[in-house]
Structure 1
Amino acid sequence: MQKMERIKIIGVDISVVDFNSAQKYLFDNFEEARGHYICAANVHTTVTAHENSNYREVQNNSFMTLPDGKPLSVVGKKRGKSSMGRVTGPDFLEEVLKRTENTEVRHYFYGTTQENLDSFISAVKKSYPNLKIVGVEPSVFRSLTVKEEDELLERISESQADFVWIALGAPRQEIFCNKLSSRSNAVWVAVGGAFNVISGVIPRAPQWMQDHGLEWFYRFMKEPRRLFKRYFVTNSKFLWYLFRDKGEK
């Protein structure tokens, strides 16, 4: 297996990929990816990883850490990685579903609330009626006991899932994948709010805003109180850390 190229951004290893190359690398190396996990990194997760060495290790030990946030791919391009482009969690998930719909590949979905998960599964079945869904479970919104972890892994094993999609929110979901993925034969993917985006529970920004890296502003306008700290405080930290480490390669 050819090792995935990565670039270090404020101490976090981000994969040098775009949408197409990320999919190609995954499917070209699918058997090697089993028992490992994929992260979708943005400014929030990158700053969190920069400030927390344990979480940084989780991010850096992934099979791939996708540049979900536009600023990450922009930094990569400025550092000479011209092939780097944004790869969002929802887009990555939908493309995998599309590619595997008429195959024997099996999918297990874990996370969000039962109501939102029901909406997501309904949308998936409508768009990909031939997709093999072998497990669907909502989050319990707390840490699992050892017994619960063992039981979840047993259910995943019995389902013979090839993909386990985890939507718990960062940093919990990446830590969850790091802890459990190696005890399975599936590829685990931490996709954050992708379930809610695909189901329409969370509206996506217009394409032009996504293309110009303004999706964060669209979300902020929808939920200003909840997202103020994440987008303004965290973004300011990111710029400061980036300036401080501007010589980093």
Structure 2
Amino acid sequence: MIEAETSRIGPVDIAVVTFDEAVAAVDDRIDAADGGSVTFCNAHSVNLARTDRRLVDAYSDSLVLNDGIGVDMARKLLYGAPFPANVNGSDFIPIFFERSRHDLRLFLLGSRPGVAAQAGAIIAERYPRHRVMGVRDGYFEPDEEAALVDEIARSGANLLIIGMGQPRQEIFAAEHAAKIGMASMSVGAFLDFTSGAIPRAPGWLRAARLEWVYRLALEPRRMFDRYVLGNPRFLLGILKDRRRND
């Protein structure tokens, strides 16, 4: 397995890859079948990682892909150039489903009851060469976790898709990697977007790198801290990092 070049943004080492390179890297982890994880990092992720060592540890064992304009700006400030592509999960995963060299066997974990099943039905229709081996919502109690991990491990899947929000999804993948024994991908709201439970921003807003504005308008109370307070906090942290590196 060839390891990608990385750039450190805050406490997170993010891979410097194109979409095609990211597809090949994820396929390598599926080949390895050793619990290797794939995650995504945006400005909010960096803010969380600065205060949560568990997330830093989970990222350290993962292929971390760049997500969004915040980390792009940070790389330009710190290293003189942005990332080669915006490999955010909601855009990357459909591309990966199309280009993967594997016939994928998926287990979908996360979101509210019914969402993963709906997303699975849509994925099966859009990508008929892949199979959904199992689904489970993200609302399980701690004493149910061991049985859930056993269910995933026995499902016959070769890729676990986890959409339980940060940092819970990354910590779950890291804690259970050895037992699950398959590649995992922590995908945030991908299952919600795919099922239609949460609408995505119009294409022109995504092209302008302003999807976060749409998310804020859609869920202002939940997203206020992440964007209105979090974006300035992220930029201040990056400027401090640059001063320390000068």
Shift in Å, 1:60: 2.2
Matched, 1:150 2:150: no
Task: Indicate conservation of the 8 Å contact 2:30/2:158, yes or no.
Answer: no
Determine helix, strand or coil for the equivalent of 2:50: helix
Higher deviation after alignment, 177-186 or 70-79: 70-79
TM, length-normalised to structure 2: 0.89
Say if 1:77 and 1:21 are closer, same or farther in 2 by CA, change over 3 A. farther
1:96 CA drift (Å): 2.8
1:162 CA drift (Å): 0.5
Contact 1:109 1:165 in 2 (8 A): yes
| C-alpha contact 2:30 2:182 (8 A) present in aligned 1 | no
Partner of 2:173: 177
Aligned-residue offset at 1:175: 0.6
- State the number of aligned residues: 244
Greater shift, 45-54 or 28-37, is seen at: 28-37
Query: Aligned partners of 1:77, 1:24: CA distance in 2, in Å?
Result: 25
User: 65-74 or 231-240: which moved more?
Assistant: 65-74
1:211–1:77: structure 2 CA closer, same or farther, 3 Å change rule? farther
1:139 paired residue number = 138
Any conservation in 1 of the 2:66–2:83 contact (CA below 8 Å)?
no
Return the letter of the residue paired with 1:131: H
Share of identical aligned residues, percent? 30
SS at match of 1:38: strand
- What does the per-residue CA deviation read over 1:48-76, in whole Å, with 9 as the maximum and x for residues that have no partner? 101222321222221x1111122213332
Q: Would the aligned equivalents of 1:110 and 1:166 in 2 still touch at CA under 8 Å?
A: yes
Q: For 1:7-26, what aligned pairs fall within 5 Å after superposition?
A: 7-26=7-26
Tell me if structure 1 keeps the 8 A contact 2:103–2:129. no
**RMSD of aligned C-alpha atoms?**
2.2
Find out whether 1:234 has 2:234 as its counterpart. no
Structure 2 unaligned segments of length 5 or more: list them: none
Sort the Cα spacing of 1:141 and 1:236 in 2 relative to 1 into closer, same or farther, 3 A: farther
Amino acid corresponding to residue 13 of structure 2 in structure 1: D
Deviations 1:177-207 (A, max 9, x none): 1101222221011001000111222111122
Q: Does 1:193 align with 2:189?
A: yes
